[in-house]
Amino acid sequence: MTTVMLVGATGLVGGAVLRQAQSDARVARIVAPTRRELPPHPKLETPLVDLSNCRPMLRGGQSMG
């Protein structure tokens, strides 16, 4: 069985990938960090994250806040 980490699950494409992973028998667990809750599903773990305090990850990036 496979664990999938999905970033962007609340967006258009990420939502479609999430639905596909939820219906795929090969996927046992989905970890999708989000800023808001997602509908519950037996395979889904959605740790809530606060991205407002994240520092830029790219060299030369600038913080927006």
Domain carrying residue 13:
2-51
Within a domain: 8: yes
Within a domain: 47: yes
Q: What is the pLDDT of residue 53?
A: 64
Within a domain: 58: no
> Beta-carbon neighbour count of residue 17 at 10 Å?
17
Within a domain: 10: yes
Q: What is the pLDDT of residue 58?
A: 47
Structural domains of the chain, count: 1
- For the entire predicted model, the pTM comes to 0.76
Question: Does position 60 have pLDDT exceeding 70, yes or no?
Answer: no
Within a domain: 35: yes
**Predicted confidence (pLDDT) per residue in 16-55, tens digit:** 999 999 999 999 999 999 988 999 999 999 999 886 766 5
Question: Does position 62 have pLDDT exceeding 60, yes or no?
Answer: no
Q: What is the pLDDT of residue 49?
A: 87
